[in-house]
A and B are shown apart, each in its own frame.
Chain A
Amino acid sequence: MITYKYNFIPAGEQALHIVFPEQINISENQLIQELASQLRDSYEDEITDIAPAYRTLTVYFDIRKTNYFKFSNKLKKFLVNYTLEKKNTYGRTFEIPVCYDLEFGIDLADVASFGKLSIPELIEIHSSTRYFIYMMGFLPGFAFMGNVPDQIAMARLEVPRSSIAPGSVAIAGKQAGIYPVASPGGWRILGRTPVTLYTPDNPLPPFQAGDSIKFKQITRADYEAIKELDAHGEYQLKVL
């Protein structure tokens, strides 16, 4: 049985959102991830794609094989009879090395003063938290993570920057993220990882929604060394 309330909302004639309570909640999100994989397996023929997000599960279906009413009724029945398999669904935890040099962490000073902390204290708080990945997107390899401790949860910039360097490790309120490719963005940047999280030749990210990430502080020398290794495909992300 699913203990959360949910409903179905059409998103065009070929997709629907299954909408759960509006909150950033790990167990609700784990249910969404689990449902995504089970639905994908159970309705392989009808489902063309599926996109789990914070509190929604978007299901895209093949209009040549079904339609909104038929398919949402099928899914409703599936959900009513659904039992969450108590798998070890917490996922893996990846360790991401981060260099918090001021050159990279261009918002360190602002976030530290927001939290009434010294920069080392801020880094300690940021890197001692384990962040759960609620969803992947809007770009390949971008992980929407939470929850950033309240003390450092500074809101995003009023005016976004036109370009943020790939590998930038950032926060926006309670959300944490890493920019996999150069992109405009308004998140507060605390550091940079030397690890490449997206390449066109190998576009799938190493982690997925449901996994977690822990940041590990490294020196500038480590940063350069890992970058060199990574460029030759010789760096392996550590799974804790």
Chain B
Amino acid sequence: MTNIEIINPGLATTIQDLGRIGHQAQGIPVSGAIDQYAHRLANLLVNNSEKAATLEFSILGPTIKFFADTFIAVTGADSSPMLNKLKINLNTTYSITKGDVLHFSPMSKGRFGYISFANNGIQVAPVLDSRSTNTRVKLGGYHGRLLIAGDNLKINECYTMPSLTNRIAEEQTLTNNIIHFIKGPQWSLFSENAKKAFQNEAFKISAQADRMGFRLDGPTLEIPQKNMLSEGTVLGNVQITRAGQPIVLLADRQTAGGYPVIATIAATDLSKFVQFAYNTPLFFKEISIEDATTKLREKYHFLDNFADTIFKKRYQYPIGPIRKASKKIEKLLTNNQRSVM
């Protein structure tokens, strides 16, 4: 039985998870949340596994009507979420009661937002072990497409959430405009001029930016004369096209590519990169594999610890989970008193 209705789809709203991993040899694109960090955090906030399916949206979030009790969290871009027309905070878990309506205003900061749903997320049949949507090949998610008004989805009802009041994550603030990269497989094929321009000049994310990849505006880079054979692509690869323009390969990227790859964005900076504002210059700076590995592990450590922190707080006073039923009882009692008076 379906129990959430899409009243308004917003822009480019899809079901996503960690991706369709393990099938690149068969040409199946990985897909999954383009901001993996925000997706993971959204799930942790509602006590889900990181693998649960969330809704990803861009620019404008969907309007959703709930026909089930649950808990939700909104992460990623600043999407001005509102519950029953009252502003709610990002990175915070909220209790949802049947009949509630969630809606958004156009994003003021960032590009991609996530909504997580307690008790294992959006329930659609997985395809090749993933619920993520790739609209280009119409694979996974909800009929392989963007959500539209009138779509009905299923979530599992949820009535209790341990340590509800502790389920708040700090907002990530953009501290600078540096994106770290690891030298790409074809780095040595590029001229000194191209390498210098790549590292010293400003780039901006162009209007041609979608889940497959972001084209960058900036200096035209000299390209290697040599043609290369297609090879496997990696998330965050910075390809240089024949016109000398960089394209950063993202979630829905094709599995193989034949353009030279000058760099790979460090995974720890990918969520910063995909949320980067229009018309804001960014600079690429090299990072060693050792440092990139350490930084990425710190990020995972933070996520793992985040779950632990909440789990530890669970048994602090007052003991026991916050039950929705207790709220309802309280409400009933207040109403009763009013009618008596």
Cβ contacts A1-16/B at 8 Å (1 or 0 each): 0000000011111110
Q: Is the CB of A63 within 8 A of B293?
A: yes
B296 beta carbon closer than 8 Å to chain A = yes
How long is the Cα–Cα vector from A57 to B295 in the complex, in angstroms? 26
Stretch at the interface among B88-96, B254-262, B274-282: B254-262
With beta carbons under 8 angstroms apart, the residue of B27, B139, B230 that contacts A54 is B230
Min CB gap B308→A, angstroms: 15
| Contact status B256-A53, CB under 8 Å | yes
Cβ proximity bits B263-299 to A, threshold 8 Å, 1 near / 0 not: 0111100000000000000000000011011001100
Task: Name A140's contact: one of B28, B185, B261, B292 (CB within 8 Å).
Answer: B28
Interface string of A168-197 (1 = CB under 8 A from B): 000000000000010000000000000000
Q: Does A136 contact B (CB under 8 A)?
A: yes
Given known A-B contacts A68-B293, A203-B127, A204-B28, A198 and B264 have beta carbons under 8 A apart? no
Any chain B CB within 8 A of the CB of A91?
Answer: no
B25 near A17: Cβ-Cβ < 8 Å: no
- Across the interface, which residues of A come within 8 angstroms of B219, CB to CB? none
Identify the stretch in A43-51, A214-222, A232-240 within 8 Å (CB) of chain B at 4 or more residues. A43-51
Q: A14-B267, A51-B25, A141-B27 are in contact. Are A200 and B144 (CB under 8 A)?
A: yes
Minimal beta-carbon separation of A73 from chain B (angstroms): 13
Interface size class of B (residues with CB under 8 A): 35 or more
Which residues on B sit within 8 Å (CB–CB) of A209?
25
Complex contact B127–A13 (CB within 8 A)? no
Of A13, A54, A144, the contact of B267 (CB 8 Å cutoff): A13
When the two chains form their complex, are residues A200 and B229 in contact, meaning their CB atoms are under 8 A apart?
no
Q: Which of B6-60 contact A (CB under 8 A)?
A: 21-30
Q: How far apart sit A57 and B231, CA to CA, in the bound complex (Å)?
A: 8
CB within 8 Å for A10 and B289 given contacts A53-B229, A200-B144: yes
Complex Cα gap A64–B232 (Å): 22
Our pick among A56, A63, A68, A205 for the contact of B27 (Cβ within 8 Å) is A205
CB neighbours of B230 from chain A (8 A): 53-54, 135, 137-138, 144
Residue of B nearest to A24 (CB): B229
CB pair A11–B264 under 8 Å, yes or no, is yes
Cβ-based interface call for B128 (8 A): yes
Contact partners of A53 in chain B: CB under 8 A:
229-232, 256
In the assembled complex, A147 has its CB within 8 A of some CB on chain B: no
The answer for the CA separation of A181 and B236 in the assembled complex, in Å, is 25
Which residues of the other chain, A, contact B183 by a CB distance below 8 angstroms? 10
Q: Which of B25, B228, B231, B292 contacts A13 (CB 8 A)?
A: B292
B235 at the interface (CB under 8 A from A): yes
**In contact, A10 and B26 (Cβ under 8 angstroms):** no
Query: A208 and B184 in contact (CB under 8 A), knowing A49-B21, A198-B137, A200-B137?
Result: no
Tell me the nearest residue of chain A to B144, going by C-beta.
A200
CB distance from A237 to the nearest CB of B (A): 16
Q: Would you list the 6 A-B pairs with minimal beta carbon distance, nearest first?
A: A58-B232, A51-B232, A137-B256, A138-B254, A12-B264, A137-B255
| Known A49-B23, A52-B232, A203-B127; 8 more pairs at CB < 8 Å | A10-B182, A13-B182, A13-B267, A17-B232, A58-B231, A63-B267, A63-B300, A139-B29
27 interchain pairs, CB-CB under 8 A: A11-B232, A11-B264, A12-B267, A17-B185, A24-B229, A49-B22, A49-B30, A53-B232, A58-B24, A58-B234, A60-B24, A63-B267, A63-B300, A64-B297, A64-B300, A68-B289, A135-B256, A136-B25, A136-B26, A137-B256, A139-B29, A140-B137, A140-B139, A141-B27, A144-B256, A204-B128, A209-B25
Using CB atoms and an 8 Å cutoff, list the residues of chain B in contact with chain A. Answer: 21-30, 127-128, 137-140, 144, 182-185, 228-232, 234-237, 254-257, 261, 264-267, 289-290, 292-293, 296-297, 300
| Chain A residues engaging chain B, CB cutoff 8 angstroms | 9-15, 17, 19, 22, 24, 36, 48-58, 60, 63-64, 67-69, 135-142, 144, 181, 198, 200-201, 203-205, 208-209
